[in-house]
Amino acid sequence: MLIKVPRGWEIPEREATPESVYLRRREVLQGLGFTGLTGLLARKPLSANTGLYPAKRNTKYILDRELTPEAAAIGINNFYEFTLDKQRVKDRVGGFRVDPWTVEVKGLVNNPRKYDFDDLVRRFPLEERLYRFRCVEAWAMAVPWTGFPISALIKEVDPKPKAKFIRMVTAYRPREMPGIRSQPHYPWPYFEALRLDEAMNELSLFVTGIYGKPLPKQNGAPIRLITPWKYGLKSIKSIVKIEFTAKRPPTLWNEVAGMEYGWYSNVNPAKPHPRWSQAREKLIPHMTLVPTLPYNGYEEFVAGMYTGEEF
Ligand SMILES: Nc1nc2c(c(=O)[nH]1)N[C@H]1C(S)=C(S)[C@@H](COP(=O)(O)O)O[C@H]1N2
Ligand SMILES: [Mo]
């Protein structure tokens, strides 16, 4: 059971102005024919995300290419819980409820917690970063993500010395996720994992926004992982559970087809997928071909964690 005790200075705005009172005031004002500035401001009910976006950009992370147009990045998705059709994910997410949302952190930590998302998103300072993104299927993009380093959350929950991995799990809502019903052979819910040092790497983000706005459902609202040196399948969406473990946890794609999808899934242009080359990538939306770089161009940040044998 999550018992939320907000400190005085962090009372969410929607509690400071109970929505019912707020909406009633709107009706009264509208009834009086008052639809001026107040009407405009009141149109959208205050939400978990009020005032957080856009976050300040961290200029340390620079791109070697243009940003992908927003419409493509939020319109062409992989989210098999909804459909395998990349262009249709956005049309199938309507029934997915992402508010309220709880993220449970458990396992080998000194401070296990259940974070209410509204609290979580205000607890760790958000920043914007421009990252390259490379799907294992050889399409790629460049995206302004908003989020916070995973290391901030890890420090707060304080892993025990035995913790060596973190396992993450997506929401399982067959009634809201039509792809779970039409693809029953997958071992839902989606699960992924990182080594603890990978999770602590400065590049590893928990992402809550994109293009200066809250994450759309098709991109993994309200919170997903981004590890830009790994294939996109590692970047698990709509996370509800984070568990610290001593043993290496399995991951969905590695479990389903280990020959095709490595546990690490570090981007490696020299190692072809059994069915296609990984030497080049197609930039959406025009599918311009460009070379793929080792660790997706992030070698300087991550190569020190590996022997080169991980895949
Ligand atoms: N829960 C969940 N997470 C997921 C997936 C998925 O099907 N389910 N697809 C993965 C794959 S293969 C990719 S390439 C990225 C796509 O993220 P995007 O749609 O935001 O571009 O999400 C990853 N995270
Ligand atoms: Mo992917």
Q: What is the pLDDT of residues 62-116, one digit of tens each?
A: 998 999 999 999 999 999 999 999 999 999 999 999 999 999 999 999 999 999 9
Task: Note the pLDDT of residue 271.
Answer: 96
Summarised one tens digit per residue, pLDDT across range 184-238 is: 999 999 999 999 999 999 999 999 999 999 999 999 999 999 999 999 999 999 9
Distance from Cα 135 to the centre of ligand 2, integer Å: 4
Q: How far apart are CA 17 and CA 169, in angstroms?
A: 34
Distance from Cα 196 to the centre of ligand 1, integer Å: 21
The mean-pLDDT minimum among 16-20, 39-43, 117-121 falls in 16-20
Task: Note the pLDDT of residue 214.
Answer: 97
Residue 280: which pLDDT band, with cuts at 50, 70 and 90? very high
Mutate to test the pocket of ligand 1, among 78, 134, 267, 273 (most ligand atoms within 8 A of CB): 78
Residue type (1 letter), 219:
N
Task: Note the pLDDT of residue 54.
Answer: 97
On the question of pLDDT at 29 being above 50, the answer is no
Would the CB of 251 count as within 6 Å of ligand 1?
no
On the question of pLDDT at 7 being above 90, the answer is no
The phi-psi region of residue 116 (left if phi > 0; otherwise alpha if psi is between -120 and 50; otherwise beta) is beta
Would the CB of 201 count as within 6 Å of ligand 1?
no
Distance from Cα 269 to the centre of ligand 2, integer Å: 15
Distance from Cα 297 to the centre of ligand 2, integer Å: 17
Sign of the four-CA dihedral 156, 150, 186, 117: positive
Hey, whose CA ends up nearest to atom 10 of ligand 1? 233
Distance from Cα 79 to the centre of ligand 2, integer Å: 9
Task: Note the pLDDT of residue 102.
Answer: 98
Hey, whose CA ends up nearest to atom 24 of ligand 1? 236
3-state secondary structure the chain: CCCCCCCHHHCCHHHHCCHHHHHHHHHHHHHCCCCCHHHHHHCCCCCCCCCCCCCCECCCCCCCCCCCCHHHHCCCCCECCCECCCCCHHHHCCCCCCCCCEEEEEECECCCEEEEHHHHHHHCCCEEEEEEEECCCCEEEEEEEEEEEHHHHHHHHCECCCCCEEEEEECCCCCCCHHHHHCCCCCCCCEEEEEHHHHHCCCCEEEEEECCEECCHHHCCCCEEECCCECHHHCCCCEEEEEEECCCCCCHHHHHCCCCCCCCCECCCCCCECCECCCEEEECCCCEEEECCHHHHCHHHHHHHCCCCCC
